[in-house]
Amino acid sequence: MARAIALLDKPNSASFGMAPVVVADDASVRVLGFASASAHRGRGVTRPQVEELIRGGHALPVDADVPSALKPNTVALWFGDVFAKSAKALDLPAAPLPASPLEARGGTFFLGPSAALYPYLERWIIRAFQKFRSEQSDESRKEIAKLMRWVLPHRPESLAAAWATASKPERELELQSRTFELDKTAAQIRSSHEHFLKSAGDELADLRLVVFTGGTGVGRGELAERFAKQFSLECRSFRRSVVEQSSHAASLEDAKEKQVLADNGQREVDLSPLAFALSVLDSPPEKGRILVLDSLRHKKMRETLGWLQPKQVFVVAVTTDESERRRRVQARKIDPDTLFKHATEREIPDLTKQADLRIRDVATDQELRQIFDLVSHG
């Protein structure tokens, strides 16, 4: 094990962002999470230099056990306590967060690859901007704009919100032209903001999701595919996303492949439920279409899908006789008693109870038609 000893750039309790993390072990000090253009800042850093950065107010001291083999693209996703309180008051919580929080003065942080954690900032900005556009209270709009600038100040949503709530809009345009929009005039920036405030939207907002849940052996995947085929819908699967990242598993016998995929799927949920959800929602179908999602196994993933605020999330739980389920699993030479205790199986009974509809694996075409009608007119 190693220890995280500091977060560079001293994240503020009022902010929500990403920061490089300093990791130390007996032999060395490493700085992880710099973009390639800034990597030189972390080369050759020593413990005394880290301590000097902390004393100078340029780094936040932390003290947490972390794995020794963290990769160079590991960053700290920082969630400040003050930011969390302000966002909650505006009904703008963060998406369901990763599984391993680490505490520090003024906030909580999570470690992971930058590509897995950046969506927390990007999607929060998108959600905040949608609320900003619909908010009637001038005071709330100002507070939302202020929070957006603490997250990703360079994003077009943040710049438009800042201009729309500025006491001196022309001065704000001049400031933006000198900092974030160097290749544009104030008039061009104003025109861009006006257009963005009227037309920008979330590509997921018109999406209706039919999400299938159910444990291994219930025939869930086959029923999801059958439903999608019957109504000419696209079917995507969380399992498929895991398979694509576990290419070596295909060469294993069925029981070992199932174990690898289950472990890797759990790792994806723990690392970043938001990135995992977006991996199957990337490139949504045509506006207003229904998308079928298979293999929902975790309550946190259900919460994440809801947080993304599509037009509808309709969960269908597939069931079968327990004896038949065990027989199917055993036919694959997998021990059901071991499999059913895995973390990817344990929450499915609760998801089944909370589902919008429960249906048997031998459902008729007419029963599937009822699901389609419920979603189409929901």
- Looking at per-residue pLDDT, the higher value among 255 and 148 belongs to 148
Query: What is the per-residue burial (b if ≥16 Cβ within 10 Å, else e) of 302-332?
Result: bebbebbbbeebbbbbbbbeeeebbebbeee
Count Cβ atoms below 10 Å from residue 378 Cβ, excluding itself: 11
% pLDDT > 70, the chain: 94
Give the per-residue pLDDT at 176: 94
Q: What percent of the chain has pLDDT over 90?
A: 81
Q: How confident is the model at residue 154 (pLDDT cuts 50, 70, 90)?
A: very high
Asked if the model's pLDDT at residue 74 lies above 90, the reply is: yes
Please give the Cα distance from 114 to 130 (Å, whole number).
25
- Helical H segments across the chain, by residue range: 47-55, 81-89, 114-134, 138-151, 156-165, 169-179, 186-199, 220-230, 238-244, 254-271, 273-281, 299-307, 322-331, 336-339, 343-346, 348-354, 365-376
* Position 275 confidence tier, pLDDT thresholds 50, 70, 90: very high
pLDDT tier, 24 (very low <50, low <70, confident <90, very high otherwise) = very high
- 156 forms beta bridges with none
- Please determine, for residue 252, whether its predicted confidence score (pLDDT) is greater than 50: no
Residues sharing a CB contact under 8 Å with residue 140, sequence separation 6 or more, in sequence order:
90
Least confident of 44-48, 87-91, 174-178, 348-352: 44-48
Degrees (nearest 5) of the Cα angle 17, 23, 29? 130
Q: Which of 27-31, 64-68, 117-121, 322-326 has the lowest mean pLDDT?
A: 27-31
Terminal-to-terminal C-alpha distance of the chain: 51
Residue at token pair 């709330």: 140
Q: What is the CATH number of domain 208-376?
A: 3.40.50.300
Can you give the pLDDT at residue 200?
63
Domain boundaries defined on the chain:
2-116, 135-199, 208-376
Total residues belonging to the chain: 378
Of the candidates 37, 180, 150, 18, which has an alpha carbon nearest to the alpha carbon of residue 85?
150
Range from 97-111, 227-241, 278-292, 315-329 carrying the lowest mean pLDDT: 278-292
The pLDDT of residue 262 is above 50: yes
